Chains A and B, each alone.
Chain A
Amino acid sequence: MNNTYDVIIIGGGATGAGIARDCSLRGIKALLLERSDISTGATGRNHGLLHSGARYAVTDHESAVECIRENKKKKKIAAHCVEETDGLFISLPEDGLEYQSVFVEACRRAGIRADVIDPKEALRLEPSANPALVGAVRVPDGVVDPFRLTSSNILDARMHGAEIRTYTEVMELLREQDRIIGVRAYDHHKHCDEKFYARVVVNAGGIWGHGIAAKAGITVNMLPAKGALLIFGHRVNNLVLNRCRKPADADILVPGDTISLIGTTSSKVPYDQIDNMIITPDEVDLLLREGQKLAPQLATTRILRAYAGVRPLVASDDDPSGRTVSRGIVLLDHATRDGMEGFITITGGKLMTYRLMAEWATDLICKKIGNNEKCRTAETPLPGSTESREEVDRKMRSKPVVQRRSSISRHGDLAVKIDSRTSIQNSLVCECEEVSIGEVEYALENLEVNNLVDLRRRTRVGMGTCQGELCACRAAGLMGHRNPVCARKAKEDLVSFLNERWKGMAPIAWGDTLRESEYMTWVYESVCGLSDEENRAAK
């Protein structure tokens, strides 16, 4: 039967994608089900910090050690998703220097390089840092793009035989006595139910894993912790900036591609609110107030948007394995824990340790199905990371320089697959982020794009200064053009995209952002005559 697999993975975040890749590299027939698009949960809603582990060194030695190990591996296997920027932990006068020595010592214990540097040297390395700083420690922090990382894992999984189904939501876990034998899932595109069977079902749903486990009558008690972040309009800093003090709100500024982001706040939210994250004015205030202590120029830098993610923190009292540390990896074999065969949950952890989480989960899957293959994900480069940036750049000489470099930073060596033979294919859809028609076509054909928001996650269309003002319509047009029957859907999609962009702009809509919004209203509501009446009616 073609709906039978070795393993079904629920959740298309970094962890789920990592498991799909790991399984398929070990020859396990895997199906990944995701209710929305890949990396829509906590994976795509965090700092994008490539932790050195320094941040956890003092409070959580085990996490710190995991981080620095994964940090080194990621730089090898995911070079095109990673920037090796290094980071600074700066001490401000109000922080004092006592923490610094504790911090440096803890880093060394965890095996993290931590060099105390002169404040002047720190400012030379990172001119945006608060000039009042009294101390600085340099650590091997970096930046990782979670969308690219997840997308590459998915790509590799598919290349090795995994099946990926996005917009397919698990509604029920199929049970046969004390065993989960498969799932019933709803396909949001075809609007129908389908059943899938496997020997093992993996719950990799992050915070949503709580609800998935509940479908099997199992309680995995998670505490949703909301973290809000602000994205600034351009790259303010080139080194990650941290406060050298006990981890607190808004104490980390991360550069990421063309932007910088400050985060995070941390607040408990009720479980029924995890799909409805709203950024409050207080959170914006807090992020700005603390953020400008790290880099004073944030006070005069344009903010592009605000967003929040929900971390899956697992309550340790409910965990019989006793392994749970607040942010540590939690792997639950429900056969031993709850007497339910064929079902495991992997949760907790961080984007940073997604690969390790996938390795643990896959090891357990292997044990259950009797597979003896070794994990290869720690050494095998992801698609896009097999050649150096310079080599790829040389191969693409004929393309305009800005466009070329932008696409290489997004797709690594796979950028050569972007068709640029005609001038039309070189035309820009997104002018802020330099995304060409060729790149959009490449994404539509190869990267599981169903709508404009998916396209944004794969290519950065609409992630720039204008937040979709010019490119949203162009991209919608291209998608409508490829499938003329779906012009109506493309228009609805455009409306949803604009709503989605505005949701992130509203909490910070003053100054130039409000000007931009007014202009967008003129273009889309007035000139184009769009409204969301039809979308609301459809819902």
Chain B
Amino acid sequence: MRFDTVIIGGGLAGMACGIRLAQAGQRCAIVSQGQSAIHFSSGSFDLLGRLPGGEAVSDPVAGMAALAECCPSHPYAVIGAENCARYAQEAPGLLREAGIRVAGDCRRNHFRITPMGKAKATWLSIDGYLTTPQVGEFPFKSVCIVNIEGFLDFYPEFIAEELRKYNIECRFGSFNHPDLEQIRRNPSEMRSANIARVFDHDANLEALAEALRQQATGCDALILPALIGINRNDSLEYLRERVGLPIYLLPTLPPSIPGIRAQQALQHRFRALGGEYFLGDSVLSSEIEQGRVARIFTANHGNIPFEARRFVLATGSFFSKGLVATFDRIVEPVFGADTVSRPSRSEWYTLHFFDRHEYQAFGVRTDNRLRVVKEGAVLENLYAVGAGLAGFHPVQEGCGAGVSLLSALHVAEQILKD
């Protein structure tokens, strides 16, 4: 199989890169080992929430520029502040063209509200999710937080506890329906996706609207767990219209409905642009000729290799097995690329779960064009993007999605320039 570019990894970075290349007319393939970490999305995309030293960032573009000084190995510093600012302007368009309705400003973070009611600085949020321009500036004075009877991955009390700190009056509501009792017959599958399928039916959505209307009397707004519209786009608008009140969604514990939808939207977009998406396959070996990756062989395709002029490594970090921690070292399993890591396991982490752990910043060694380094030498046509890059703490710095999107666009631009 011959392609212009083969991307290994079908998460946010891989797909963003693939979409940009396919848009430019390239024939692209994505090889993905299973579904990606987008399935745990919070409904928002972070660009930069904190600097490595812990200072809060309100203007991500300015923050990215500051990284060049304080943290030159950060992917944003490697990509360059000006480039970052440009890609940050571009990225929302890419998501919107795929059908992911996001809003936000790369010059000013807003705050998303988590399932625990906490506020986290973020860049882009999907339409319908509860956000505030500043911490505590809620768009309502009183709110009714409604859960689905028996849904265990969403806790209104936790949310209310935070909201009440800002003098928001909170009430609780709940919803039940015979179709939900069907799911509850199974002790483990009362999960977001199964519930969301119930609400994809018109009649059930209407029943929900009716219940919400009754429960919300006297409230300014409603909060719902993100359990509606897994296979349709209009559910939230429909509810808002029928209830006649603002309705805000909050993400749930995995699997995340906005995540599943975003994954599917990006996949569709990539395919619609002519891209080939190979799901559930893993790269077993590669052939490198004169400093270039010539072809890769996968588990499914055996003796038919993927050949391309360029390859992109978008395999993610530990979760997605883009990086593998063995007993005593950190390995990049596809190409055996060099990694940036610490030699002694005791340096990988501290004993406190919520600390900034060194392992989170481990990654693939690249040159300043994000080309992968193996045994000290640059592989000319292999680029790295996304969570597998070294030098940043995606969670602590609130920059995981941003690094994925911006590095993807940066690599796509370089591939197209060459």
Q: Does A523 contact B253, Cβ atoms closer than 8 Å?
A: yes
A414 at the interface (CB under 8 A from B): no
Q: Does B150 contact A424, Cβ atoms closer than 8 Å?
A: yes
Q: B325 — which chain A residues lie within 8 A by C-beta?
A: 509-511, 514
Q: A476 — which chain B residues lie within 8 A by C-beta?
A: 155
Q: Does B158 contact A495, Cβ atoms closer than 8 Å?
A: no
**Quick check: which of B83-91, B205-213, B351-359 contacts chain A, the rest being far away?**
B351-359
**Quick check: which of A53-61, A219-227, A453-461, A480-488 contacts chain B, the rest being far away?**
A480-488
Q: B42 — which chain A residues lie within 8 A by C-beta?
A: 526-527
Q: Encode contact with A along B174-212: 1 for CB under 8 Å, 0 otherwise.
A: 000000010011011010000000000000000000000
Q: A503 — which chain B residues lie within 8 A by C-beta?
A: 351
A177 to chain B, nearest CB (A): 46
Interface residues on A, range: 35 or more
Cα separation A498 to B254 with both chains bound (whole Å): 17
B256 at the interface (CB under 8 A from A): yes
Given contacts A426-B187, A514-B325, A278 and B351 within 8 Å (CB-CB) = yes
Q: Does A529 contact B120, Cβ atoms closer than 8 Å?
A: yes
B404 at the interface (CB under 8 A from A): no
Q: Does B157 contact A521, Cβ atoms closer than 8 Å?
A: no
B window 88-117: CB within 8 A of A? 114-116
Q: Does B326 contact A510, Cβ atoms closer than 8 Å?
A: yes
Q: Does B360 contact A521, Cβ atoms closer than 8 Å?
A: yes
Residue of chain A at shortest CB distance from B116? A528
B160 at the interface (CB under 8 A from A): yes
Q: Does A510 contact B345, Cβ atoms closer than 8 Å?
A: yes
Interface of B is mostly: loop
Q: Encode contact with A along B367-401: 1 for CB under 8 Å, 0 otherwise.
A: 00000000000000000000000000011101010
Q: Does A427 contact B253, Cβ atoms closer than 8 Å?
A: no
A501 to chain B, nearest CB (A): 7
Cα separation A525 to B354 with both chains bound (whole Å): 7
A301 at the interface (CB under 8 A from B): no
Q: A478 — which chain B residues lie within 8 A by C-beta?
A: 152
Q: Which of B160, B190, B319 has the most chain A CB within a 10 Å cutoff? A: B319
Cα separation A526 to B158 with both chains bound (whole Å): 16
Q: A511 — which chain B residues lie within 8 A by C-beta?
A: 324-327
Q: B140 — which chain A residues lie within 8 A by C-beta?
A: none
Pair count A-B, CB < 8 A: 144
Given contacts A428-B187, A515-B319, A523 and B352 within 8 Å (CB-CB) = no
Q: Does B327 contact A510, Cβ atoms closer than 8 Å?
A: yes
Q: Does B354 contact A518, Cβ atoms closer than 8 Å?
A: no
Cα separation A491 to B319 with both chains bound (whole Å): 25
A218 at the interface (CB under 8 A from B): no
Given contacts A431-B188, A436-B187, A525-B354, A423 and B349 within 8 Å (CB-CB) = no
Residue of chain B at shortest CB distance from A527? B42
Query: Within the complex, which residue of B155, B190, B349, B359 is in contact with A480, where a contact is CB–CB below 8 Å?
Result: B155
Give how many B residues have a beta carbon under 8 Å from the other chain's beta carbons. Answer: 54
Q: Does A474 contact B152, Cβ atoms closer than 8 Å?
A: yes
Given contacts A403-B187, A502-B351, A522 and B321 within 8 Å (CB-CB) = no
Cα separation A527 to B251 with both chains bound (whole Å): 8
A400 to chain B, nearest CB (A): 6
Q: B115 — which chain A residues lie within 8 A by C-beta?
A: 527-528
B3 at the interface (CB under 8 A from A): no
Q: A527 — which chain B residues lie within 8 A by C-beta?
A: 40-42, 114-115, 251, 253-254, 256
Q: A488 — which chain B residues lie within 8 A by C-beta?
A: 161
Q: Does B354 contact A531, Cβ atoms closer than 8 Å?
A: yes
Cα separation A527 to B44 with both chains bound (whole Å): 9
Q: Does A429 contact B152, Cβ atoms closer than 8 Å?
A: yes
Q: B152 — which chain A residues lie within 8 A by C-beta?
A: 427, 429, 437, 474, 477-478
Residue of chain B at shortest CB distance from A499? B353
B window 333-350: CB within 8 A of A? 345-346, 348-350
Cα separation A528 to B158 with both chains bound (whole Å): 11
A495 to chain B, nearest CB (A): 7
Q: Does B395 contact A423, Cβ atoms closer than 8 Å?
A: no
**Given A403-B187, A487-B158, A527-B253, 5 more pairs with CB closer than 8 A:** A490-B158, A491-B161, A509-B359, A522-B40, A527-B254
| Chain B residues engaging chain A, CB cutoff 8 angstroms | 37, 40-42, 114-116, 118-120, 149-150, 152-155, 157-158, 160-161, 181, 184-185, 187-188, 190, 251, 253-254, 256, 317-319, 321, 324-327, 345-346, 348-354, 359-360, 394-396, 398, 400
| Chain A residues engaging chain B, CB cutoff 8 angstroms | 278, 281, 400, 403, 423-424, 426-429, 431, 436-437, 470, 473-474, 476-478, 480-481, 484, 487-488, 490-491, 495, 498-499, 501-503, 506, 509-511, 514-515, 518-532
**Cross-chain pairs A/B with CB under 8 angstroms, 5 sampled:** A426-B187, A487-B160, A503-B351, A528-B118, A529-B120
